[in-house]
Amino acid sequence: RKPRNSHGKLGFADMARTIASKWKQITPEERAPFDVIAKADSTRYKEEMQAWKCKKKEHFMQKLNLGALDQSSLRQQPVTRMPASSSMESLQDFHWDQSTLLQQV
């Protein structure tokens, strides 16, 4: 494996320290353009996250096919309980029952 600093320049940690110390030394007027960019990027990020969350929720609702159902039809569905037996066969049957129920919804 090649040594990290074979080029003779600063390593990552040293470079980060240098940049941080220079950032602390600049005046608020010099920092202002970067603050504007950061604020705009933060606003964009929040808008994109909100859109992504809505899209994710819509996708989930479509996947469960709940968009066309009302709450009363959901209440009429039978409740499937976990079998008391812990055998693998009954667990597989339980999983199949749950999968079938979700497909019907």
pLDDT digits (tens, 9 = 90+) for 39-88: 999 999 999 999 999 999 888 888 787 655 555 555 555 656 555 555 55
Which range of residues forms the domain containing residue 41?
33-70+89-105
101: nearest Cα among 83, 79, 82: 79
Instruction: Confirm whether 4 is domain-assigned.
Output: no
pTM higher than 0.85: no
- d(C-alpha 105, C-alpha 103), whole Å: 5
Instruction: Confirm whether 93 is domain-assigned.
Output: yes
* Number of domains, the chain: 1
Instruction: Confirm whether 6 is domain-assigned.
Output: no
